[in-house]
Amino acid sequence: MNLFGDGDEDKCKGDQYVKPGATDTTLQLAISLTLGLSAFLTFCIIRPRWKSLYAARKRRLDPSIGLPALPDTFFGWIPALYKVTEQQILASAGLDAFVFLNFFKMAMKLFTIMFVFAAVVLWPINRRYVTDPPPDHSDDEDPDKSYDPNLGYLWSYMIFTYFFTGLTIYIMNKETFRVIRVRQDYLGTQSTLTDRTFRMTGIPKELRNEDAIKDLVERLEIGRVESVSVCRVWKELDDLIEERQKVLAKLEESWSVYLNQKPMHPAGGPQNPTGSNGGGPSEANSGVREPTDEEAGESDQLLRNPSHNPWIDRPRPQTRFWYGFLRLQSRKTDAIDYYTEKLRQLDDKILAARKKKYKAADNAFVTMDSIAACQMAIQAVIGPRPGQLLTKPAPSPSDIVWRNTYAPRLGRRVRSWSVTAFVCLLTVLWTIPVAFLASVMSICTIEAVFPTFAQSLREHELLRSLVQTGLPTAVVSLLNIAVPYLYDYLSYHQGMLSQGDIALSVISKNFFFTFFNIFLIFTIFGAVAPTWEVLRHSLKDTTYLAYTLAGKIENLIVFYINFIMLQGLGLFPFRLLEFGSITLYPIYRLGAKTPRDFAEMIQPPMFYYGFYLPTALMIFILCLIYSALPNGFLILGLGVVYFTLGYYTHKYQLLYAMDQPQHATGGAWRMICYRIMLGLVVFQLTMSGYLALRSVYTVALLVTPLPIATLWYSYYFKRRFEPLTRFISLQSIKRGEDPGADAVLDDDEPPLEGGEGQRELFRRGSTVDEDRERGLRFVNPSLVVPLVQPWIYKEPPPPLPSSLETGDGLEYDGRGNNRGAEYEVQQPDVSAPEAPGNNRPARGASASSNSSSSVSLGDTHIWREG
């Protein structure tokens, strides 16, 4: 079919989309393979050389977990990664990683089966009977052609719509049973502080104290309360801690600038300890120290030997501060002295603020003596009044956003509604560039605006393919990469109480953007002009949307083939390469000044599910929609390739290279299932509209029960399955008196990869969550975190002196954890990082939580001039 025949002006009166063409697909395949193979081979070359980046997480894991080390050979790591079992995934990466990877495995299994049937059965039928364009039956006497022998092949579409729907629900249902079984066994066998703690909200004012809440819960006779932590309005203290982090960073930067200065008299001035005239590296950077009297302080040495002081002639950094009425006056002063004094004043204020009593909020964390008692409290209705004494599972202490625990409920609701409204507004605004991008796919639109350029496209096939298919695919892929960062920022400011809830919210928002803008706007509307026409007709006739979807989706198959091809073959190797970290490393390396900056640079990158899962879900839905259509086997085949590459790429990242900052206990699975059901409904509506457009109305009508059945199944899923993805069943909890108990859920289910007993699947002494939470408490870190001193030299500052303990009889490390916990804190060599790593600490993490040792404000005065 010639889309661009000369003199055919009627072709430009409607929306002309890219039809299946060998040139478009071949060109995109060449581009994707070139990008993917170059990135993959580069990864294989530098992986054994940059282990601080590509094995950052493995180097921090406890050896008892048993995660195998990957060989340093060029391709030898691939079979070793393949052999890593699900048991080892659970033991080393946790439940969230298992659920995420299980979605990719389920997609591989489902689309492999669908591809076989689409290629063996449907493709020969389509090749024999499908014509392009379809025959026009508008003049026929009988409007329904369902029993026309020439159109009998369309009944196979209806049959395969039922078959693929049933197959999807069957496999999803089976995997849901499996995920629930693993989740119940995993959470039932561990014993963490979080598993024994629930969050109580809507507490009346008369009950907002520890004793009253403890008495209330124990009178329920469900168990003994070990501790109660009432959230209070700690805004003053949190603000002081936040301000201290900023001052500390400025002080460390000032010291870095000062120590890297050259002496003012390098030729005739005093000689520095390194033996050079000031041109060599300073002690702070070289790590070389002058021999000194061990009993004399360093400041005494500088005072007694001023001729050997390498810093006395160096210009000290200056800073400008504002003062007076409305801070209209300013002057410069010594930056080190200024920030040191400011830090001392803040420390005094923080120590005083920690002794104050703050107003109680309506939230509290209640820790029970057993997991069973906690689960009974969570799954029960405690208060007789609506909105009061509500119980919910508690997030991990390290996941809590403490500022939101004392924020007024109305304020958090207003923030949530505001962010939701803003996201809806953004969705509408996104339609303009996306619809314009879709219209670019029509050469008729290009000819109306740039006739000369359109003529060039007609004459050069490769250029036309690049503009009409390659360029939109690349732009849509860039949108999928950039937009999640915006929605991540919005979710963080929405007022949620835990990082896990924020992560699930990011998944929801990013999927909504991907599905609505990348699929619906691109498919249905196509251009800005027809958008309002489609909406107007859809309001009058509810079937118009299905007709429009079915009429245009087949014409976009090349675009979606190219999109999946680029995402799988082209971009997954770049994710494996961690191209972003490598690209940004030189920038952050140039901006890093202090030892703390260098230490943060070589931390493992963070893996955020909200950045990766929405695109995978969108491609899953695309594979469903195109599965029974002509040439759908191409989409299904690429879907198998996409999910296979995605599984092993993310498997490597989650196990060996990247850390997971959130702890959502596998809550993403219910979101995955609901979006799969949404994809099934779109698939069924598309097939019904596709059949109706070919005048086989009886066949189209026979498809309509499927969306109703799918909606019923979603209600059934919510009632039967969803509670088990949120809570722990009482029967799954392992009591102390039955240490050898086996799994209690569905013994007929196949075991996980590894072939061991159920209870031994998840632990080698402890789960990854137990290791993560060891020593943590439900305490605002601002109350207990050590006041770290400036990190000036290559070595971290000294530990916290016993005289400056936090006041509760316990000493805490730089993470705010009890020193009694068996944490192994590795101090990186910040002078020469081995390879690019994470550029910044995790979102929302304070500098104190990323410090590598327990420290306190101390001896910065020794650096002042004598």
SS3 of 98-133: HHHHHHHHHHHHHHHHHHHHHHHHHHHHHHHHCCCC
Helices and strands in the chain: count of H runs, count of E runs: 35, 6
Find the angle CA(497)-CA(500)-CA(505) to the nearest 5 degrees: 85
Rg (CA), the chain: 32
Please provide the distance, in angstroms rounded to a whole number, between the alpha carbons at the two ends of the chain: 88
Average pLDDT across each block of 10 residues of the chain; the chain has 866 residues. List them in order: 39 43 75 92 92 83 78 92 90 89 96 95 87 58 77 90 96 95 88 89 92 93 92 94 93 88 54 40 40 40 46 76 83 90 93 93 93 91 89 90 90 90 84 68 68 75 72 76 86 88 89 83 54 49 62 80 90 89 83 85 84 92 92 93 96 90 82 95 90 87 94 94 90 63 46 53 57 82 90 76 42 33 33 39 36 32 30
Asked if 732 contacts 188 with a C-beta cutoff of 8 angstroms, the reply is: yes
Domain layout of the chain by residue ranges: 9-190+408-732, 194-234+358-395, 251-353
Q: Which residue has the tokens 């502080």?
A: 193
- Calpha distance 687→684 (Å, rounded): 5
**Three-class SS of residue 489?**
helix
- Calpha distance 743→757 (Å, rounded): 9
pLDDT value of residue 1: 35
Q: Considering the entire predicted model, what is its pTM?
A: 0.80
- Calpha distance 491→420 (Å, rounded): 9
pLDDT value of residue 137: 54
The secondary structure element, H or E, covering residue 329 is strand 329-334
**Three-class SS of residue 539?**
helix
pLDDT value of residue 133: 57
Phi then psi dihedrals of residue 197, to 5 deg: -120, 140
Instruction: Write the single-letter amino acid at 738.
Output: D
Asked if 714 contacts 677 with a C-beta cutoff of 8 angstroms, the reply is: yes
- Calpha distance 112→627 (Å, rounded): 11
The secondary structure element, H or E, covering residue 833 is none
Find the angle CA(612)-CA(613)-CA(619) to the nearest 5 degrees: 100
Phi then psi dihedrals of residue 519, to 5 deg: -100, -60
The answer as to CATH 3.30.70.330 being correct for domain 194-234+358-395 is: yes
133: cis peptide before it, omega within 30°? yes
Instruction: Write the single-letter amino acid at 760.
Output: E
- Calpha distance 624→564 (Å, rounded): 13
pLDDT value of residue 772: 74
What are 731's two structure tokens?
């029967």
DSSP bridge pairs for 229: 365
Asked if 440 contacts 472 with a C-beta cutoff of 8 angstroms, the reply is: yes
